[in-house]
Amino acid sequence: MDKKLVKSITPREEDFTQWYTDIVKKAELSSYSSVRGCMVVRPYATALWENIKANLDSRFKKLGHVNVMMPMFIPESLLQKEKDHVEGFAPEVAWVTHGGNEKLTERLCVRPTSETLFCDHYHDIIESHRDLPKLYNQWCSVVRWEKTTRPFLRTMEFFWQEGHTMHETKDEAIDETRQMLNVYADFVENDLSIPVIKGKKTDKEKFAGAEATYTIEALMHDGKALQSGTSHFFGDGFSRAFDITFTDRNNTLSYPFQTSWGMSSRIIGAIIMTHGDDDGLVLPVEVAPIQVVIVPIAFHKSNVLEKAKALEEKLSEKYRVKLDDSDNTPGWKFAEYEMKGVPLRIEIGPKDLEKNQAVLVKRYNREKTFVSLENLDIKVEEALNEIKKGMFEKALNRRNEMTYVAKNYDEFKQIAAEKPGLIKAMWCGDLACEEKIKEDTTCTSRCIPFEEEQITDTCVCCGKKAKYMLYFGKAY
Amino acid sequence: MDKKLVKSITPREEDFTQWYTDIVKKAELSSYSSVRGCMVVRPYATALWENIKANLDSRFKKLGHVNVMMPMFIPESLLQKEKDHVEGFAPEVAWVTHGGNEKLTERLCVRPTSETLFCDHYHDIIESHRDLPKLYNQWCSVVRWEKTTRPFLRTMEFFWQEGHTMHETKDEAIDETRQMLNVYADFVENDLSIPVIKGKKTDKEKFAGAEATYTIEALMHDGKALQSGTSHFFGDGFSRAFDITFTDRNNTLSYPFQTSWGMSSRIIGAIIMTHGDDDGLVLPVEVAPIQVVIVPIAFHKSNVLEKAKALEEKLSEKYRVKLDDSDNTPGWKFAEYEMKGVPLRIEIGPKDLEKNQAVLVKRYNREKTFVSLENLDIKVEEALNEIKKGMFEKALNRRNEMTYVAKNYDEFKQIAAEKPGLIKAMWCGDLACEEKIKEDTTCTSRCIPFEEEQITDTCVCCGKKAKYMLYFGKAY
């Protein structure tokens, strides 16, 4: 077996796009299907998604959310009920026009998102303030008719969760919107080791039909930004459009306030592009399908395999462990599990046994340590914690290095032209400036961060009085 | 609060169909949506489905199966590759003809089942016998364009898992087909307390494109049969149609042998119609969203609530427990959790505390026992085990009472006309007899059971030599 064979992926600095495609293929995450723009999510990536899902789902449930399963179709008339929403989505939906051999009297779209379906249901089940809040979520796939697609980052069908909640008061709904953004940020930073910027989208970039969209933005290794999770406050716009009313505490008929929030399989793209390197994937401990791989060396000798199996059994109590006792060479196995991004490798051979030790190798920085077999489980726990922190710091350092400040438009244009990364700049709040910046530089506004800085007093584009600080970037 | 208000459902013996509809509504399992034939699966039924899913998924994984996520669309040309399959499904699929504002050059159907998608993928990834077996499964929803629909039993969109496997040899594939049928039977009998008959479908009733279809058939309270899980052996038909080949152990190019197997959200209908009664749902312990409900009585007094909370905490270590300390009356709560089918209720009040006891009430047979608080957790465990067994025996007794033997066609017709239930009868194996029986009696063949009996020597319909014993029934 040839180690190079497995590892032959395009270097990341040479061609980032091809590097990404190579990893997706060689790590067996996804393959193309006969259905244009749709992907086959292979077992390894499905296991990764299941771990992401379990983690988020338990966070949602702890906060009182419950899951439901809504239809995948939306009748055209239902989609049209909220004006901004239909304008945003109608151009990019798949239309079902025939059932069996019959032409339908009304077209159905395959859901691109489910606000309209939830509102239709909420209309039926909300009557009194005692019915509120409704804290619903669903795990499903949605379809948006995209022209160009890339696995996980942009596909016609993608997998996600969509939370849809209804509240008695505006304040409560805004709190929910922010709370769920914090849930996403906490998950992505602590469990995926990806630093994010929390902020609010400009009106131009907000979700179709929302009053406000909050976002977490992450920086990929190539300097492009990736919107990684969003949370929307709708006010009572949909409630009015769908005639959802409730009897409030003063016995008055009122409209409830709504939120929605989503995170998708796109986050797998963020994991690949934040942590991956020239040897393949680097997976965060929390969601890795295999957290620890044990590679026995020369295991026909002495009792190496026996010891490796005992180790597997012990560690399996706490971790997802794989012992690879196949006939492949250790070198082949090292390359294979590096490609698959397994966070920690344990090597154990006859010489190690003589010294009563094993070798731990961290995937993300290749640090190699020799540890006693006596307290190996403690050493593994320590190593996994170090990996978690270390991966976050590495990504944060890179983001800091790639974040620039532009005080005037010449600076802005120069940075945008020469330096991949994020640009912090002041903005007057006018759509015209946002559009001009995009036209001149292809940079879009990522968000008004919750933690704004006062860089200058004037808009980086027009020079008028600045209202906000914005993060700009080229985006996926 | 009026107990009757909650409990006002149509009696089961008066109008079984309406009783079913009432339970689905009052237990808040599902509600109709604006999308014809599609249902909203509400939180309580979604939680039930999640428990069913977790149980089956862990059974599949223990046997080496892995999950994948395939596209929801099938291009028309892909669907057409296997002749029998397309004939079976094309008349009942939903067709996507437009993406955004563009007409598609090729129509896409929304998957009614995914054999063609899996085969398309297997074509790409199977090369050698070392790649086999492939043991894939997916959890998703599928769409079949049904004329008349009923929640869980028959809906245009339904939720299911579909296993799709590929094997080196015919024997191995047949073993897989049977193994998975046994997994279903074991789950349904042991964890859902629903007795099933395992058997093989006749050629008339088998899956479109399959060489053989195995089934588990359950008897509902009204005497109708419900196909509750199926497992199909495909031979190498799809492999040939999709040109899936592998280099076998003799270095020869061969076609692999295929299976598929599925269980759907229809099983929720089976739970309702097997165990439910005039007070509502009766849920099996294993999958009930709430396994034990604690109702404190007069809990403003002494330390009832304190004790109830301690109990909740203790029992929550092992079970899904709900303590209802709302303002509703005990009577209202009893009715509510009876409607929701919670397997075990614990009542605890001031008088109980004086005697250091609590009251356990089993939902399925209303048995009431007084148990000491000292070893309550052991008593709860015993009670739940008794419920599991008791529900199965009750359902089995009913099925035995409603299973009839027909030795000749007059008997058959008389039973079919007068007695709801299953009919055992001999069959010559000819399609003509099967069709005549259906025409004359509306009974369809359910299966050739694995455990055949020799009732007579001749076909119940034509009188020619009998080849098989069949179960007949009116089916959902």
Q: pLDDT per residue over A293-346, tens digit each?
A: 999 998 887 789 999 999 999 999 999 999 999 999 999 999 999 999 999 999
CA A137 to CA B42: how far, in whole Å? Answer: 11
Between chain A and chain B, the number of residue pairs with CB atoms below 8 A apart is 153
Q: Provide the β-strand partners of residue A323.
A: A294
Q: pLDDT per residue over A168-190, tens digit each?
A: 999 999 999 999 999 999 999 99
Contacts of A72 in chain B (CB under 8 A): 38, 72, 110, 141, 143, 157
pLDDT score at B300: 80
Chain B's closest residue to A156, CA to CA, is B71
Residues with Cβ within 8 Å of B451's Cβ and at least 6 positions away in sequence, in order, are none
- For A216, the token pair is 């977490």
pLDDT score at B301: 77
**CA–CA min distance A89, chain B (Å):** 9
Q: pLDDT per residue over A236-257, tens digit each?
A: 999 999 999 999 999 999 999 9
Asked if the Cβ–Cβ distance from B31 to A136 is below 8 Å, we say: no
- Residue B283: φ, ψ to 5°: -95, 145
Residues in B 1-40 with any Cβ partner in A closer than 8 A: 31, 33-35, 38-40
Q: pLDDT per residue over A128-180, tens digit each?
A: 999 999 999 999 999 999 888 999 999 999 999 999 999 999 999 999 999 99
Identify the residue among A26, A29, A35 best suited for mutation to test binding to B, counting B beta carbons within 10 A and taking the highest. Answer: A35
Per DSSP, helices labelled H in A28-89 are 43-62, 76-79, 83-89
CA B260 to CA A254: how far, in whole Å? Answer: 51
Residues with Cβ within 8 Å of B284's Cβ and at least 6 positions away in sequence, in order, are B191, B192, B193, B194, B271, B275, B343, B388, B391
**CA–CA min distance B88, chain A (Å):** 11
Asked if the Cβ–Cβ distance from A108 to B95 is below 8 Å, we say: no
- Beta strands A444-449 and A197-200 are antiparallel
Q: What is the DSSP letter of A128?
A: B
CA B342 to CA B295: how far, in whole Å? Answer: 12
- Give the closest of B73, B125, B143 to A38, CB-based: B73
Residue A3, pLDDT above cutoff 50: no
Closest CA to A169 of A216, A204, A132, A119: A132
Tokens 């066609």 identify what position? B409
Q: Are A115 and A83 in contact (CB under 8 A)?
A: no
Compute CA B113 distance to the chain's CA centroid, rounded to the nearest angstrom.
17
CA A81 to CA B154: how far, in whole Å? Answer: 29
CA A231 to CA A175: how far, in whole Å? Answer: 11
Q: pLDDT per residue over A95-112, tens digit each?
A: 999 999 899 999 999 999
Closest CA to A77 of A117, A105, A103, A106: A106
Half-sphere exposure of A95 (CA within 13 A, CB side): 21
Region B394-417: mean pLDDT is: 98
* B181 Cβ under 8 Å from any chain A Cβ: no
Q: Are A272 and A49 in contact (CB under 8 A)?
A: no
- Beta strands B253-254 and A253-254 are unpaired
- Give SS3 for A202: coil
Contacts of A140 in chain B (CB under 8 A): 141
Asked if the Cβ–Cβ distance from A35 to B75 is below 8 Å, we say: yes
pLDDT band, very low/low/confident/very high, at B90 (cuts 50, 70, 90): confident
Region A77-92: mean pLDDT is: 90
pLDDT score at A301: 77
**CA–CA min distance A455, chain B (Å):** 42
pLDDT band, very low/low/confident/very high, at B7 (cuts 50, 70, 90): low
Whether the CA torsion B409, B410, B411, B413 is positive or negative: it is: positive
Whether the bond between A133 and the residue before it is cis, its omega within 30 degrees of 0, is yes
Burial classification of residue B3, based on how many CB atoms lie within 10 Å of its CB (0-12 exposed, 13-18 middle, 19 or more buried)? middle
- For B70, the token pair is 């395939």
CA B248 to CA A53: how far, in whole Å? Answer: 38
Contacts of B70 in chain A (CB under 8 A): 33, 40-41
Burial classification of residue A394, based on how many CB atoms lie within 10 Å of its CB (0-12 exposed, 13-18 middle, 19 or more buried)? middle
Q: Are B373 and B357 in contact (CB under 8 A)?
A: yes
pLDDT score at A147: 85
CA A387 to CA A375: how far, in whole Å? Answer: 19
Q: Are A106 and A68 in contact (CB under 8 A)?
A: no
Q: pLDDT per residue over B225-237, tens digit each?
A: 999 999 999 999 9
Q: Quick one: chain A helix, strand, coil %, rounded to 5?
A: 40, 30, 35
Secondary structure of chain B in the HEC alphabet?
CCHHHHHCCCCCCCCHHHHHHHHHHHCCCEEECCCCCCEEECHHHHHHHHHHHHHHHHHHHHCCCEECECCCEEEHHHHCCCHHHHHHHHHHCEEEEEECCEEEEEEEEECCCCHHHHHHHHHHHCCEHHHCCEEEEEEEEEECCCCCCECCCECCEEEEEEEEEEECCHHHHHHHHHHHHHHHHHHHHHHCCCCCEEEECCHHHCCCCCCEEEEEEEECCCCCEEEEEEEEEEECHHHHHCCCCEECCCCCEECCEEEEEEEECHHHHHHHHHHCECCECCCCHHHCCCCEEEEECCCCCCCHHHHHHHHHHHHHCCCCEEECCCCCCHHHHHHHHHHCCCCEEEEECHHHHHCCEEEEEECCCCCEEEEECCCHHHHHHHHHHHHHHHHHHHHHHHHHHCEEECCCHHHHHHHHHHCCCEEEEEECCCHHHHHHHHHHHCCEEEEEECCCCCCCCECCCCCCECCEEEEEECEC
Q: Are A245 and A257 in contact (CB under 8 A)?
A: no
Residues with Cβ within 8 Å of B344's Cβ and at least 6 positions away in sequence, in order, are B285, B291, B292, B293, B360, B361, B362, B363, B380, B383, B384, B387
pLDDT band, very low/low/confident/very high, at B1 (cuts 50, 70, 90): very low
Q: Are B233 and B177 in contact (CB under 8 A)?
A: yes
Q: For a pLDDT cut of 70, what percent of chain A falls above it?
A: 99
Q: What is the DSSP letter of A212?
A: E
- Give the closest of B46, B66, B75 to A68, CB-based: B46
Closest CA to B323 of B331, B333, B332: B333
**CA–CA min distance A383, chain B (Å):** 29
Whole-angstrom CA distances from B142 to A422, B70, B138 are 42, 12, 11
User: What's the alpha-carbon Rg for chain A, to the nearest Å?
Assistant: 25
Chain B's closest residue to A157, CA to CA, is B71
Asked if the Cβ–Cβ distance from B40 to A157 is below 8 Å, we say: no
CA A471 to CA A444: how far, in whole Å? Answer: 9
CA A49 to CA B71: how far, in whole Å? Answer: 15
Contacts of A133 in chain B (CB under 8 A): none
Q: Provide the β-strand partners of residue B295.
A: B347
pLDDT score at A7: 56
* Position with higher pLDDT, A33 vs B370: B370
Closest CA to A180 of A148, A212, A152, A158: A212
Residues in A 49-88 with any Cβ partner in B closer than 8 A: 49-50, 66-75, 78
Q: Are B105 and A80 in contact (CB under 8 A)?
A: no
Chain B's closest residue to A50, CA to CA, is B67
CA B215 to CA B206: how far, in whole Å? Answer: 9
Q: What is the DSSP letter of A231?
A: E
Tokens 């419920």 identify what position? B387
Mean of the per-residue pLDDT values of chain A:
95
Residue A396, pLDDT above cutoff 80: yes
pLDDT score at A144: 95
Asked if the Cβ–Cβ distance from A94 to B101 is below 8 Å, we say: no
Q: pLDDT per residue over A252-296, tens digit each?
A: 999 999 999 999 999 999 999 999 999 999 999 999 999 999 999
- Give SS3 for A179: helix
- Residue B156: φ, ψ to 5°: -60, -50
CA A412 to CA B97: how far, in whole Å? Answer: 45
Residue A408, pLDDT above cutoff 70: yes
- Give the closest of A46, A74, A94 to B69, CB-based: A46
Residue B306, pLDDT above cutoff 60: yes
**CA–CA min distance B167, chain A (Å):** 18
Residue B130, pLDDT above cutoff 80: yes
Strand order in the sheet with B73-75: A73-75, A102-110, A94-99, B94-99, B102-110, B73-75
- Give the closest of B40, B69, B73 to A121, CB-based: B40
Q: Provide the β-strand partners of residue A213.
A: A232
Amino acid at B149: T
Q: Are B446 and B227 in contact (CB under 8 A)?
A: yes
- For A424, the token pair is 């912090």
Q: pLDDT per residue over B263-305, tens digit each?
A: 999 999 999 999 999 999 999 999 999 999 999 998 887 789 9
Closest CA to B282 of B345, B230, B332, B352: B345
User: What's the alpha-carbon Rg for chain B, to the nearest Å?
Assistant: 25
CA B58 to CA A67: how far, in whole Å? Answer: 20
- For A449, the token pair is 């961060």
0.90 surpassed by pTM:
yes
Mean of the per-residue pLDDT values of chain B:
95
Q: Provide the β-strand partners of residue A108.
A: A75, A96
